[in-house]
Amino acid sequence: MAKMNLLQAINNALILSMQKHPSAMVFGEDVGHFGGVFRATSNLQEKFGKSRCFNTPLTEQGIIGFANGLASQGSYAIAEIQFADYIFPAFDQIVNETAKFRYRSGGQFSCGSLTIRTPYGGGIAGGHYHSQSPEAFFAHVPGLKVVIPRNPYQAKGLLLSSIEDPNPVLFMEPKRLYRAAVGDVPEEEYTLPLGKADVVKTGSDITLLAWGAQVEVIEKAASMAEQDGISCEVIDLQSILPWDVETVCQSVFKTGRLLINHEAPMTGGFASEIAATIQQECFLYLEAPIARVTGLDTPYPLAHEKEYMPDHLKTYEAIRRTMDY
Amino acid sequence: MAKMNLLQAINNALILSMQKHPSAMVFGEDVGHFGGVFRATSNLQEKFGKSRCFNTPLTEQGIIGFANGLASQGSYAIAEIQFADYIFPAFDQIVNETAKFRYRSGGQFSCGSLTIRTPYGGGIAGGHYHSQSPEAFFAHVPGLKVVIPRNPYQAKGLLLSSIEDPNPVLFMEPKRLYRAAVGDVPEEEYTLPLGKADVVKTGSDITLLAWGAQVEVIEKAASMAEQDGISCEVIDLQSILPWDVETVCQSVFKTGRLLINHEAPMTGGFASEIAATIQQECFLYLEAPIARVTGLDTPYPLAHEKEYMPDHLKTYEAIRRTMDY
Amino acid sequence: MQNRNHLSNVKISHNVSVIENGLLEIPMLQLLNEQGVEINPKKVKFFDRDTAQKILNSMHYTRLLDDRMIGAQRQGRISFYLASLGEEAATVASAAALEPQDMIMSQYREQGALVYRGYTTQQFMNQMFSNKDDPNKGRQMPIHYGDKALNFMTVSSPLGTQIPQAAGYAYGQKMAGQSAITICFFGEGAASEGDFHAGLNMAAVLNCPCVFFCRNNGYAISTPADEQFAGDGIASRGIGYGVKTIRVDGNDVLAVYSATAQARKIALEENCPVLVEAMTYRLSAHSTSDDPSGYRSKEEEQKWAERDPIVRFETWMQEKNWLDKEALEAYKTKTREEILAALKVAEKISICEIDEIINDVYDTPPWHLEKQLKELKSHIKKYPEAYPKTAGSNK
Amino acid sequence: MQNRNHLSNVKISHNVSVIENGLLEIPMLQLLNEQGVEINPKKVKFFDRDTAQKILNSMHYTRLLDDRMIGAQRQGRISFYLASLGEEAATVASAAALEPQDMIMSQYREQGALVYRGYTTQQFMNQMFSNKDDPNKGRQMPIHYGDKALNFMTVSSPLGTQIPQAAGYAYGQKMAGQSAITICFFGEGAASEGDFHAGLNMAAVLNCPCVFFCRNNGYAISTPADEQFAGDGIASRGIGYGVKTIRVDGNDVLAVYSATAQARKIALEENCPVLVEAMTYRLSAHSTSDDPSGYRSKEEEQKWAERDPIVRFETWMQEKNWLDKEALEAYKTKTREEILAALKVAEKISICEIDEIINDVYDTPPWHLEKQLKELKSHIKKYPEAYPKTAGSNK
Ligand SMILES: Cc1ncc(C[n+]2csc(CCOP(=O)(O)OP(=O)(O)O)c2C)c(N)n1
Ligand SMILES: Cc1ncc(C[n+]2csc(CCOP(=O)(O)OP(=O)(O)O)c2C)c(N)n1
Ligand SMILES: [Mg+2]
Ligand SMILES: [Mg+2]
């Protein structure tokens, strides 16, 4: 065990993967000698050489195009997109290529050994081009897996699983926790299952669901609610695609209430999919409408960041409204 | 009034707009002399000259980038993306630029005079690269409007509204109806409101909701259900963003049941947003879970197209299940 | 190569000198003139008679296949086809200059390369009839071939996407120590996509052993080359990327072969990309959905029909006494029959059973796909007449 | 210009000739040598003394602004800043060669152009403090300036997106019959984006009167130019697009001015794009979030510090007897004070009231945004201490 922050946990996972797989390569903008703008790839070039950890030209569509080719050749391609806000130039390569590679070839070729890492989310005074949470776009793309960790321990285990998984994985890192989240992390290799939610805290009155940096927000709201005698079950979804309907359903069967929190705008955000599925699966158990506490339907604003964010207070209020329904 | 098919109605709307606005320009791949691969832009170059209707090089990101610039300059930019399957290279220009142009500049600049037309949808033996229905991706982008017509009359009126609207509009055309849908269309200019759903048929037991080519599918299912004595209200949503929550709610207050049909894969499809909102707004009125009849969570297959499609039979079955809940 | 650093070695001038593209002339390699006469003074031996024969046969095969499939499409037996008439030298002779271990990424009009690699007639037909023997499992439109065993990447419709992929694939081959390159075919239209730029630049910077082979055939559907770019073709772009570049007469088998062989050699030995631009012409319609009479003249087509790459090559073979006309006729007859027979077989083979609808989205179907399949299957059981192609195999 | 058709006028060769980038040499225009001595033998008069003074002042202003704002960021008064140290000639002298009606699309490091256009100190400060007097309404990070009145397009972070937009904007200007062009600034890093390719190619094919101005400053954050491209800079790409191209010493005011003036003239008169590559160096860190000591040497920085564009230009002005040192010192003192004063004003101005959070998403807020605002406002009313910046104005 070692104390690591989220960045160190990721760096550590990358080192272990590169040691294990001689064909594992890490690349992206500034990831080489510099170690990435957030330093997640620090020392990889020094350790594994310039041919296995390298800067690319500044072209996200090129990075993912290259990564698709490299993965289809059989290598472990680990690509970094510097900010999730800049993943959109690569949207075609991801949606039309990465995700459909295996299906269209009847399983002859695939990008299964591709992992795309990208920092996402707000809370860092980054405005609308350094704060977006685009997970919902990718949740609508069959063939991809989408994974988001909430702390260093999850980050390392889930990233190692993502790299090992024989499917392309988009691994989104909550950048406001990069240095803020610190915890005990085993130094050796370990994996955490993809597609499985994590019940962070059990409770009986209402289920609170989030992922990434918002998990601590719902935990905080849960503490507030407990003071009012409301028992909250807190779940970290962890995998956005495929997601763990089973665990969420089990919880809602018990609590009868569900609140989902995410940073992205409400309309078409991933909470909509969860709400649509759960109202279907748990219809007769629901005692109140499923609540969504999310960003506004606007670009992510700078000056009004605090007001935009689905914080613990908004969550707490929504818990109250749901309980009082 | 004249009999027009959907393509002719669109062509007619484009002609009227170009006559009305000297700064209106139509451009895209093959839209010039050739009139577009579906011939929606036939004769525009002849009528308005090569500087107002022109072929572009084969680059969707360039087409929308160019269109954003042209619109921000104040011209009416009407861009065609040859197939909605090929809109993804332009995703960054649409999501990060078109949609945020006005917000980020505090209203100083905008792409309000931009309209993007693109044929979408399946049922034409096109496989996964000529059949996609990507509306849900764009529904998650504040700043855009997304509009889909179901027949020639709606197409002309909605397209004219889209071009006049001071916001960027993505206008998606159900290509399997291009020639199949024929109807009476006024020859003069008229507009239909954006953001408003159209109640195609009133009923009292269940609300069926769809858009574009799927409207006729739910109509067919409604006829089948009527034979069983089930009275269906049929609604064409028409605008995906912003969408007409009011009309749908009013209907569900009355029927107590909702079924949404779309071609795109289920997970993260636009039905999820509708279901999430309606379970919130109409919680106490719902007598059964909101049903989603959609494509499978796979790429759009060729040989199994028929099996993949959310056809009238699957819809009918879901109506029955919802009624029997 | 010039020093890559952003300022060292730069020449200084003291007057505003505007560089125009006319400054650079990129010649086109031709080894057989329009009459099929060899004009390389050195009389290099390119390939042996067997290879020549294989090239010629593959070109004929391709043309016969195209011809038959256009017919089949007109008869409504397949939904779509896309011919390569006039471009057979570009696709066949380039494939001939490669090694079997080289990966071919094609755009879609490179059936000639696939023929040369040994794709069987039955494989072609199974793909085009989307039947269950198609290795793509009938998931893609006709002409989206692919065969891992032949190192031929499955065709993908979105244009240009393969270009950066080729760089990545080649990088992987290099890292794995393979003596292999990747060749990526694309049209001059696809070269307008941003992915072209990304792919060439990355390949150059990252020293990827690949050949970017552009078929500049004058049209992208209806869009003529002069509405596609304003520079001197695609070759002139190579300079900007620091990529070695060869322009070649795409209707000249010898030239295409030599250029590709040379490109492959450079790519492999110097670990770098090479851009080849083959000047040719899409004599056919873009596809069976297209009618070129709306956008180009019969005269223009006629001019190019006279530059037939097969005729040119046959003249050369004849000159070398390598042309056995009788054998060739027999080969063509046999091929025609073979195509017809395979077509008849393929159209009778059923499509994949319904379970395949969820396979290969992931390595194994997750629970939500299993659930969707289960629901679908019980639905089909209820309405077997509505899903005649799968009801039979639906268990 | 060569004929654009895909095959006419092509030269034929009979040997495989591999074109390498070394074939083309693109010289760099320099009119003041490194010592600030004018080396154009023709002694052209570039601009009058007033303009020279304005250029010099603007360069100094920019440097003083940068200096102060880096300080303000270190003090935690603003969250972020991005300086243009060493690149002032490239951005100021290019702006000086334009007309006010020309649209400027900048990347983010072109504050010099904005200074020259007349953006006020208070405007700079309001933007950087995201306060309610910022015309962007505080919605963007510091340095994302924009001013419609000055024909300066609001900065957008995603790199390269402005390049095709510039083509479209210029096309619109041309169609509207304006005697105006669009200039688009970008870095050599941004030139790797697919949008660069799309923009230059479209501008060339569609005859858009615009100037693509690349600041090749050697770095994209930590990535040096030789890991960004393998060709001869960005200028060499112009050839491939059939775009007229000028390379210029970016630290030489006279050269940048002349090149841009010439480019503008060509763009406007010939209705075509022109590519200008200014060779310069990012002497500052990428931004206040960056520390270049991790990826480049002090020696390299020192070498470029000696090429200071301001010193070079002052030497020339001195030589012409145009340099009034006293007045300059007074200007700098005044500017420093003005910046400090404006900064103090700006940081006291509150941010926009909460209602602005939903404005400008659309021309008018649709009902769902109104609803979200209403809920937000009543929430803030309940917890005013938690939202101190907006609680006061929340009605
Ligand atoms: C990204 C994308 N945009 C548009 C299309 C539609 N499309 C198919 S082929 C084609 C023309 C391609 O021309 P070119 O690359 O020159 O190849 P050629 O057909 O001439 O062989 C177009 C526009 C596509 N397949 N992909
Ligand atoms: C699409 C996109 N990808 C990545 C970034 C992150 N980023 C901001 S500046 C920068 C480097 C830009 O370098 P260059 O274009 O050379 O301009 P310079 O900073 O040298 O002026 C990067 C990678 C971005 N803003 N947009
Ligand atoms: Mg072509
Ligand atoms: Mg730079």
Note the pLDDT of residue C316.
95
CA torsion, points A16, A19, A22, A23, in degrees to nearest 10? 20
**Chain C within 8 Å of D330 (Cβ-Cβ)?**
no
pLDDT value at residue C19: 77
From CA B32, how far away is CA B54, in angstroms rounded?
5
For chain B, positions 294-313, list CB contacts with chain C under 8 A: 296-299, 301-304, 306-308, 311, 313
The model's pTM: 0.98
In tens, the pLDDT along C107-135 reads 999 999 999 999 999 999 999 999 999 99
Q: Is A304 a catalytic residue?
A: no
Q: Which of C43-57, D56-70, D329-343 has the lowest mean pLDDT?
A: C43-57
Report how far residue B270's alpha carbon sits from residue B288's, in angstroms, rounded to the nearest whole number: 20
pLDDT (average), residues D366-381: 98
Give the pairing type, strands D210-216 and B145-147: unpaired
Q: Does the CB of C30 have a partner CB in chain D at under 8 Å?
A: yes
DSSP structural state of residue B97? I
User: What pLDDT, on the 0 to 100 scale, is given for residue C3?
Assistant: 41
Cβ atoms of C29 and D15 within 8 Å: the answer is yes
Among B29, B80, B97, B130, the one annotated catalytic: B130
Cβ contact C264:C211 at 8 Å: yes
What is the pLDDT confidence band of residue C45, given thresholds at 50, 70 and 90? low
User: What angle, 0 to 180 degrees and rounded to 10, lies between the N-to-C axes of helices D194-205 and D162-175?
Assistant: 20
**Residues 174-203 (C) with a CB less than 8 A from some CB of D:** 188, 192-198, 201
> CA-CA distance, B38 to B25, in Å (whole number)?
18
Q: Please tell me if residue C215 touches chain D, with a CB cutoff of 8 Å.
A: no
* Among B residues 201-240, those touching chain D with beta carbons less than 8 Å apart: none
Q: Are B171 and B118 in contact (CB under 8 A)?
A: yes
Residues on chain A touching C353 (C-beta within 8 angstroms) = none
Residues of A in contact with B103 (CB under 8 A): 128, 298-299, 301
Give the model's confidence band at D41: pLDDT under 50 very low, under 70 low, under 90 confident, else very high: low
Q: Are B118 and B89 in contact (CB under 8 A)?
A: no
Contact D242 C231 (CB under 8 A): yes
A305, amino acid identity: E
Residue ranges of chain B whose pLDDT lies below 50: none
Nearest residue to B94 via CA among B122, B114, B64:
B64
pLDDT for D43: 58
| Cα distance from N-terminal residue to C-terminal residue, chain B | 46
Amino acid at D157: S
Average pLDDT over residues A63-84: 98
pLDDT category at D11 given cuts 50, 70, 90 is confident
As a whole number of angstroms, the distance between CA C211 and CA C181 comes to 8
| pLDDT band with cut points at 50, 70 and 90 for residue C9 | low
CA distances from D35 to D40, D58, D92, D308, D314 (A): 14, 21, 20, 10, 10
String of DSSP letters for A69-122? HHHHHT-EEEEE-S-GGG-GGGHHIIIIIGGGHHHHTTTSS--TTEEEEEEE--
Model confidence over B261-303: pLDDT tens digits?
999 999 999 999 999 999 999 999 999 999 999 999 999 999 9
Active site residue B130: yes
Supply the mean pLDDT for chain A: 98
Percent of chain A with pLDDT over 90: 100
Which residue's alpha carbon is at the smallest distance from atom 11 of ligand 1?
C220
The rounded distance, in Å, linking the Cα atoms of D323 and B196 is: 66
CA distances from C154 to C104, C106, C114, C134, D86 (A): 9, 8, 11, 12, 50
The C-alpha of C20 sits at a distance from chain A's nearest C-alpha, in angstroms, of 26
Q: Is the pLDDT of residue D147 over 90?
A: yes
Q: Does A195 touch chain C (CB under 8 A)?
A: yes
User: pLDDT class for C2, splitting at 50, 70, 90?
Assistant: very low
Q: What percent of chain C has pLDDT over 90?
A: 88
Instruction: Name the nearest CA neighbour of B82 among A244, C17, C221.
Output: C221
Nearest CA in chain D to B89: D194
**Residue A292 DSSP one-character state:** E
Distance between CA atoms of C65 and C110, rounded to whole angstroms? 12
- Dump pLDDT digits (tens) for D289-303: 999 999 999 999 999
Interface test with C, best of D232, D248, D274 (most C CBs within 10 A): D232
Percent above pLDDT 70 for chain D: 95
Longest dimension (CA), chain A: 60
Name the pLDDT band for C41 (thresholds 50, 70, 90): low
Give, for A172, the enclosing helix (H) or strand (E). strand A169-174
The stretch C16-38 carries a mean pLDDT of 81
Across the interface, which of D6, D21, D31 has its CB nearest the CB of C14? D31
pLDDT of A239-270, one tens digit each?
A: 999 999 999 999 999 999 999 999 999 999 99
Q: Which residue type does C80 have?
A: F
What amino acid occupies position B255?
Answer: T
pLDDT of residue D15: 78
What residue type is assigned to position B80 of the chain? E
Q: Per residue in D226-268, pLDDT tens?
A: 999 999 999 999 989 999 999 999 999 999 999 999 999 999 9
Q: With an 8 Å Cβ cutoff, are B59 and C139 in contact? A: no
β-strand pairing of A291-295 with A239-241: unpaired
What ipTM, to 2 d.p.?
Answer: 0.98
Best D165, D178, D201, D367 member to test B by mutation, with max B CBs in 10 Å, is D165
DSSP string, A199-262: EEE--SSEEEEE-TTHHHHHHHHHHHHHHTT--EEEEE--EEES--HHHHHHHHHHHS-EEEEE
Q: State whether the beta carbon of C188 lies less than 6 angstroms from ligand 1.
A: yes
Q: In angstroms, how far is CA B86 from the centroid of its own chain?
A: 16
